[in-house]
Amino acid sequence: GAGRVANYSGVEQAGLTTNKLGITVDEHMRTNVKGVWAIGDCIGDPRSPKLAHVAFAQAEVAVDTILGEDAVMNYDAVPNVVYTHPELASVGLTEAQAKEKYGDSVKAARFPFAASGRALALGESAGATKIVTAGKDGRVVGVHIAGPQASELIAEATLAMRLEATVEDLIATIHAHPTLAESLRGAALSVIGKPIDTAR
């Protein structure tokens, strides 16, 4: 996390295995010691960002596992937020990462908040929503938002990624008007070459 360092000194005496990042755990948050689980900043999984909401999800997986359920931690759709002005939020792959992973099937497009009636009414029209898709079906593999209430808007994008939604799924979703959330649909329309609004 911001300005904090996990203190996991002495865990080796308890028999816990560690790596240079922290305590090693499996996908159920179990350590190598029977009956011991670890979550949050102290774990040594390079896929795990040091974020409170990730630790909450890890805790749920650990508790569900303890209760006998087959819960697994999934890092494919973890939102990241920077609380600046304007806010920054992202989930999934950048366009460059997607091209490295999926090649030429990647498409990306932006919807500028300057084309959003709601953003203009709020006096916060700086920034944009960007969608990154991959594959013939245009599955959403990344969303990046710089603009008003990005921390709130990223939730829909995270759900879309979790459900393996396509760009057509986003387009088919009716969004209330005028809202900032329409920027996600606007970016999706731009991906397929049919932008509905443009900045004036």
Tokens of 111: 């919807």
Tokens 């009956």 found at: 35
| 177 given a catalytic annotation | yes
Per the CB < 8 A criterion, the answer to whether 181 and 101 are in contact is no
CA distance 46 to 122: 39
Q: Are the beta carbons of 54 and 76 closer than 8 angstroms?
A: no
Helix (H, G, I), strand (E, B) or coil at 155: helix
- By annotation, the residues acting in catalysis are 177
